[in-house]
Chain A
Amino acid sequence: MFRPVLARTIQPRRSLHTALGNLPHTTSPLVSNLTFFNSVTGSNESIPTFRVLDGVGKPVEGAQMPEIDQSLARRLYENMQLLPTLDTVLYNVQRQGKISFHMTSHGEEGTIIGAAAALDPEDEVLGQYREMGVLLWRGFGIDNVMAQCFGNQEDTSGKGRQMPVHFGSPKHHFHTISSPLATQIPQAAGVGYALKRSPERRGRNIAACFFGEGAASEGDFHAGMLLASTIPAPTLYIARNNGFAISTPSSEQYAGDGIASRGPGYGIDTVRVDGNDVLAVLAGIREARRRTLEQGRAVLVEAMSYRVGHHSTSDDSFAYRQRSEVEDRKRIDNPIVRFRLFMESQGWWNADEEEALKARLKADVMKAFKRADALPRCELGELFTDVYGGEEPWNIREQREELKSLLKKYGSTWEPWKTELGKFRSKGADLI
């Protein structure tokens, strides 16, 4: 199904003369010439990037298409379009102060949706925070997205405890997002190992772990790669290299050949794909997933894209990059446009359908937004639950009692509390 382009990234061992033999406990041949090396490709060239479609949606010469039919293509496209529709509304809603925070996926739709489609729906996903598309692909639903971002009583991700975009759902095999970067990377190795030890999931499911190129600078990246390779576990690492970690360009993040060059150092099969080409992502991650299952050990995919949006609603990216650069990337290298052009070339899509889809998605999102906005938060008492499982410790019980008595004294007179209490389900009555 694939041309050798994928297989080529695994270098055959170079044949050096071994007249001097080997060092003990290594396969390293002794040599008499002092040679330093750097590039992992062995030719001082960068690791290549796998691409299927060019910038205008035409299949690249020689590239083999991943298996895809019209219905899968339409599903990919609709989910890719849903992301910016949701992002635009949530971004503006944050600007109006209705939610406290948001992070968009602009520019990474191809990476996220392509990856989601390549995974089994029951593969365990551990994300960073820009992977809402995986949940949407799996049927999490717009209402659940809104509930989490508004932190209302329907927030099944965390009862309104975490910041917006920190989604999670055991039903959708999506581990709850947390803000500390890269902590999910060694955790994924453990999730993979648990899958390997579960008879009903062994050989069927993998752990898929997403992270950005900035997070890959954390020590936990090193730990995770190391663990999932030395303690073999079916763990697929997907690096989203979008060029920026907030304001820090990747040139200030690393001096090597991106994240992919590190994989071979850990003994991990590695590939770099064009993250703006949803079909390259789909093909690359399908094959990576197959290898992960087959080898029962870590595989690394680096998806190259560009963060078109600001880092978050707390960031103005034009403080550190030119608006024109962003506009250029959006125009020249837009994953959604690229795939639409491909779909149109196949006769799978047209302008009317485009218009109808956009109208439908916008209506769905607006409806969900209005609904979420009108719902109250959970009970105020949920502030104190779920800290521990089993018997509740005395300190938490006593502190709940203390807040109760304070609410009785000040709840109806201290303005900051009075206003806030009104937003909870029974207005704090569960405590008062």
Chain B
Amino acid sequence: MLASRRLARSPIASLLRRNSTAVEPPPAGGHLPSVATSQYLRSTREKALRTPGLQWNDEDDPHAIIGVERETRKMNVYQAVRDALSIALTKDDNAVVFGEDIAFGGVFRCTMGLAEEFGRERVFNTPLTEQGIAGFAIGMASMGHTAIAEIQFADYIFPAFDQLVNEAAKIRYRSGGAFNVGGLTIRTPTMSVGHGGLYHSQSPEGFFMGASGLKIVIPRSPIQAKGLLLSSIRDPNPVIFMEPKILYRSAVEQVPMDDYTLPLGRAETLVPGADLTLLTWGTPIYHCETALDMLANPPAGIAQHVPESLRKAKIELIDLRSILPWDAETVAESVKRTGRLVVVHEAGMTAGVGAEIAAEIQKRCFLRLAAPVKRVTGWDTPVALQYEKFYIPDAVRIVDAMVETLSY
């Protein structure tokens, strides 16, 4: 239904119908009805081309199609990741893609067809060793090559923690700039998926936030995934790129076909507002979208908990996108205007990314804060399989936090 509505409005409907990939069935256990109808996903070519911060990266290419002629194509997140990898491999002979099970296309299909297209010397399987994958990637990058490695689930990045924190993050510094591993990008699927249990659900970005020298990036959509991944691959620093796995198939939008990047270290204001700043990244973006709808028009069941006076509140929604370094300026500017901040993330609360943000914002915005900074996060427990709906920071918890903060 979604696809047909989009296509009907699109001037290049017939082209898209021919080129677009088959519609995927919804993921098992899908619990995010808002993703399918999200207003934040850019359903038309025009909207896609107007993505804020988008920088074309082919201005020097005489064959590139410039400006209004640019094409877009409907993609989900895994297709957008695959598209970015394909561009990186095409434009950079020194780029290689590797990890566990990536040669046949990857367990999430992010590397579909790349081995056939670019050869097994550039797209290859590794033995099942995360510390080895990270170490191998560091070695390649230290030789000036572009190493794009995959860790199959973010839950399994911890065996590589030493290589990433003690080695990748510190090589430029410890060598006085003589060596660096700027060509290193680690991609890894993250966040909950409905039924991932303890080890297919984690959001470990907070563990890496203290590893100065690394960058950590988390996209929310196909356009963001492609642009931020290409930026990560080309950034002169090692980057951990965490892909919210529940969005691989569920988030679909028009994505520019050409080579473009989106800036690292910059948050994006998705919805402007004046009364409260709602800050998040990755999957919870869509819980926040639902929560904003619910705050304005609460369903009968929860209406009694949402005072009439708050329903017209103007909420500013910000997608942080980069966890390290994070865009304190954009967030602080917003909170200075709104006086209230709610931070939403899936990882547990204690020493999570929200703690860092809350501390910095209370320092920068102390006199402007009208309420305590509120964190809506996973609990300080592992992600328990049958309890997931009560673990994740879903729309109702976000609504409740906004109500509490607005009425403080």
Contact = CB atoms under 8 A, between A and B. Distances in A.
A197 interface: yes
19 contacts: A155-B176, A157-B175, A166-B174, A175-B142, A186-B129, A186-B134, A187-B142, A190-B143, A197-B94, A220-B132, A220-B163, A222-B129, A222-B132, A382-B176, A385-B177, A388-B213, A389-B237, A390-B237, A391-B265
B256 interface: no
Contacts of A334: none
Interface stretch (A90-98, A392-400, A417-425): A392-400
B255 to A, nearest CB: 26
Contacts of B69: none
Nearest to A180: B166
A81 interface: no
A224 B132 contact: yes
Contacts of A166: 174
A101 B405 CA distance: 54
B136 A183 contact: no
A231 interface: yes
Contact of B143 (A194, A222, A231): A194
B178 A186 contact: no
B131 A219 contact: yes
Given A156-B176, A190-B140, A191-B143, A176 B171 contact: yes
B178 A157 contact: yes
Given A187-B135, A393-B265, 15 more contacts: A158-B175, A161-B173, A170-B179, A176-B175, A178-B166, A180-B166, A190-B137, A191-B139, A220-B131, A227-B132, A230-B126, A231-B136, A386-B173, A388-B215, A391-B265
B266 to A, nearest CB: 11
Nearest to B98: A231
B152 to A, nearest CB: 15
B179 A176 contact: yes
Contacts of B138: 186-187, 190
A208 interface: no
B129 A193 contact: no
A23 interface: no
Nearest to B144: A194
B178 A176 contact: yes
Contacts of A188: 139
B236 A389 contact: yes
Contacts of A222: 129, 132
Interface of B: 94, 96, 98, 121, 124, 126-127, 129, 131-132, 134-145, 147, 159, 162-163, 166-167, 170-180, 182, 212-213, 215, 235-237, 265, 325, 328-329
A357 interface: no
Interface string A220-233: 10111011001100
Contacts of A231: 98, 124, 126, 136
Contacts of A169: 178
Given A189-B139, A386-B176, A395-B325, A183 B236 contact: no
Interface of A: 124, 126, 155-159, 161-162, 166, 168-170, 175-176, 178, 180, 183, 185-195, 197-198, 207, 219-220, 222-224, 226-227, 230-231, 382, 385-391, 393-396
B173 A186 contact: no
Taking each of B124, B129, B137, which has the highest tally of chain A beta carbons within 10 Å of its own beta carbon?
A: B129
Given A158-B175, A161-B173, A168-B178, A197 B131 contact: no
- Please provide the 6 A-B residue pairs with the shortest distance between their CB atoms, ordered closest to farther: A190-B139, A186-B135, A223-B132, A389-B236, A194-B143, A393-B325
A189 B135 contact: yes
Given A191-B143, A389-B237, A224 B135 contact: yes
A170 B143 CA distance: 10
Contact of A190 (B147, B170, B236): B147
Nearest to A185: B135
A162 B141 CA distance: 21
Given A190-B139, A197-B94, A207-B139, A170 B178 contact: yes
